[in-house]
Structure 1
Amino acid sequence: MNKIEKIGQQGKLTIGLELPLDNDWALAGDIKRKQDGRPFGVPDIAIHAKLAKMADDLGYAALWMRDVPVYDPSFGDAAQQFEAFSYLGYLSGITKNILLGTAAIVLPIREPLLTAKSAASIDLLSEGRLLMGLGLGDRAIEFPLFGKNYENRAERFRKGIDLMKHVWKENGYLHQYYTGINPGAEVYPKPTQETIPLIMAGYGQQTLEWIAMNMQGWFNYPRNVAESADLAKEWNNTVHRLQLPAKPFITAFHLNLVEDPNAALIPHRFGGSLGRNKLKELLYDYQSAGITHMALQLRRNSRPVEEAIEEIATYILPEFKS
């Protein structure tokens, strides 16, 4: 089984975690944030390595991170703070089995050749555990800072995808894309597979047909079960119509796992508060809706994040083991 199949088997849900592993959006976490003097949306990363190792040891399928190069107070979210590829390199060295996903690298503000080289490096260092989620970017403040045009980012996104796939190939010579280049010039290292699994975050101003043809999976924003089911059906129908192999449908859930195991769901933005037994039922509903991987985000968790990670691993993960 290759790495994308680990989260892409139809009818089987796998469970991952979204970084940062902090509860800075909960009341207790917000109090600590203020005591530490951190702006809103800047998480506590003091024990990030311990928690990442814990997730790996306990059998979570994937760790997901975002690409936020600049903290913008108007957005109020610094993600995991670390630069994405630097952090992926670190995580690849301290974990063994867990997949390392990006949701998502903002390709239009990055140089595609260096992005391709960075991704191939991580893929090799992690022994093939990279899932490269890519997005268009929605923070207009970032584009002029990197000397990039915001308006034509969708076109640059497509060109960047094509270039990265090309240079990852053996004999992926650069003169086929650039004039005046030595015919033998190419980018090393090469990844463990001809193409690193690419996952689209959202639509990125692309058609669903383009996403299905060019990407190996689709990561959607958190939605309720019914809305997710509609999108998963549309995705699977598109993949089938284009006569492609089944591809994963991934989403996330902002979880507050409360102490009462039978506590019913109280929805909040992008997720909800509930006990582990109701969480199990909810995840079965998402599985039936066609979701193949769920990334749980714990920034709203009212209890210590370690407790939630351990409780989910004990009572939930065994239910969804392939």
Structure 2
Amino acid sequence: METICKIHVPGKMTLGLEFPLDNDWSLAGEQKRQQQGRPFGIPDVSRHAEYIRLADTLGFSALWMREVPVYDPAFGDGAQLFDTIAYLGYIAGITRNIVIGTAAIVLPLHNPLQLAKAIATVENLSEGRLLFGVGLGDRPVEFPLFGYDFESRRERFVTNHSILLEAWKDQSQLSKFYPGLNDAIQVYPKPTASISWIVAGKAGQDMDWIAQNMQGWFNYPRTVAETAQMVIGWKNALYDNNQASKPYITAFHLNLLVDDDAPFVPHRFGGSSGVKALLILLQQYEEAGVNHLALHLRKSETPLAEAIRKIGEQALPLFPTPTL
């Protein structure tokens, strides 16, 4: 069974968590950050292994992480601090069931052959629990640092996608992209199964290309009503391109309040809520057509271990991870 099936049941919604597993954007987290002297957007990852194992044990379907190669104070966001691919390998070793996904690797920033080897390595080490989310990149400062042109990143995205697909074939012919190369040259390891590609945003591509070439669409956080419209557009693109059902994925920035009875109050990219109102909101996202929702807890008033456990115990029975 493809890895995508571990988060996708048509007509249903599964739940994941988005890194970093810290509440450094909450009031308490901000105070701790200042006391520890960390720059804004650099999380405290000292308890990350505990939280990762807890999410795996409770039955969350996926853990998602972004790629931020260099910290830019203008953006003020260091993501999960650790290198994305190296961190995926570590997580693969301390978990057993949860899917590990990238949302997203900045595809045009990478040498495609090095990336093909690294991603296939994680896929092997995780025993097929990898979802490969890719994006275009929106931080101009990064591209010249890696020797690439920012303006040509859309074309590089498509080219690198094609090179990785070729490199992962059992008998790849890399001479298609590197003229004169002996086709005996191979990139190992090969994936143990077909790797599912997820695109974050549109990556500068049209919806027809995305529907044809990606196995899922990770779209930006929006209100329920806005999300419902985006889902319709995704389903139409799949229908127009003769594609089977593919998941619509999104995130939600959740400030889980200590008061379980607190009503939902929206804010940018999400909202504040007690757990009871959260359950109602999650049901609304499922009804809107979301297949997988990743909760981002950097603003959580509730400490992380308690927040993860509370969501796991009260929400996961309503939005269970498929049993394979």
Decide: shared fold, TM above 0.5: yes
1:269 positional shift: 1.2
1:182 positional shift: 1.5
TM-score where L is the length of structure 2 = 0.97
State the distance in 2 between where 1:130 and 1:183 align.
28
1:8 positional shift: 2.1
1:260 positional shift: 2.2
Give 1:203-282 correspondences, 5 Å limit: 203-282=202-281
State the distance in 2 between where 1:163 and 1:293 align.
28
Give 1:158-197 correspondences, 5 Å limit: 158-193=158-193, 195-197=194-196
1:7 positional shift: 1.7
State the distance in 1 between where 2:288 and 2:7 align.
15
State the distance in 2 between where 1:50 and 1:231 align.
35
TM-score where L is the length of structure 1 = 0.98
Q: Which SS does the other structure have where 1:15 is aligned? A: strand
Note if contact 1:232-1:249 (Cα within 8 Å) is conserved in structure 2.
yes
1:174 positional shift: 1.6
Q: Which SS does the other structure have where 2:63 is aligned? A: strand
Q: Which SS does the other structure have where 2:301 is aligned? A: coil
Give the corresponding residue for 1:59: 59
1:241 positional shift: 1.9
Q: Which SS does the other structure have where 1:319 is aligned? A: coil
1:133 positional shift: 0.4
State the distance in 2 between where 1:4 and 1:290 align.
16
Q: Which SS does the other structure have where 2:318 is aligned? A: helix
C-alpha offsets along residues 102-140 of structure 1, whole Å, 9 cap, x if unaligned?
000001111111111111000000000000100000011
Q: Which SS does the other structure have where 2:120 is aligned? A: helix
Give 1:82-97 correspondences, 5 Å limit: 82-97=82-97
Give 1:105-184 correspondences, 5 Å limit: 105-184=105-184
1:261 positional shift: 2.0
Give the corresponding residue for 2:284: 285
Give 1:76-87 correspondences, 5 Å limit: 76-87=76-87
C-alpha offsets along residues 158-210 of structure 1, whole Å, 9 cap, x if unaligned?
010011011111111222321121121111111022x3100000011100110
State the distance in 2 between where 1:287 and 1:183 align.
47
Note if contact 1:248-1:293 (Cα within 8 Å) is conserved in structure 2.
yes
Q: Which SS does the other structure have where 2:209 is aligned? A: helix
Give the corresponding residue for 2:103: 103
C-alpha offsets along residues 206-242 of structure 1, whole Å, 9 cap, x if unaligned?
0011001011000011000011110111101111221
Give the corresponding residue for 1:200: 199
Q: Which SS does the other structure have where 1:318 is aligned? A: coil
Q: Which runs of 5+ in 1 are unaligned?
A: none
Note if contact 2:248-2:291 (Cα within 8 Å) is conserved in structure 1.
yes
1:2 positional shift: 2.5
State the distance in 1 between where 2:119 and 2:258 align.
40
Which segments of structure 1 move beyond 4 Å, counting only runs of 4 or more? none
State the distance in 2 between where 1:125 and 1:288 align.
35
Note if contact 1:70-1:142 (Cα within 8 Å) is conserved in structure 2.
yes
State the distance in 1 between where 2:173 and 2:65 align.
31
Note if contact 2:265-2:273 (Cα within 8 Å) is conserved in structure 1.
yes
C-alpha offsets along residues 13-54 of structure 1, whole Å, 9 cap, x if unaligned?
000000110000000000000001000000001011111111
Note if contact 2:172-2:183 (Cα within 8 Å) is conserved in structure 1.
no
Note if contact 2:258-2:301 (Cα within 8 Å) is conserved in structure 1.
no
Give the corresponding residue for 1:295: 294
Note if contact 1:8-1:246 (Cα within 8 Å) is conserved in structure 2.
no
State the distance in 1 between where 2:277 and 2:11 align.
20
Count residues in correspondence: 321
1:262 positional shift: 2.4
Note if contact 2:102-2:132 (Cα within 8 Å) is conserved in structure 1.
yes
One-letter code aligned to 2:162: D
State the distance in 2 between where 1:94 and 1:294 align.
23
One-letter code aligned to 2:83: E
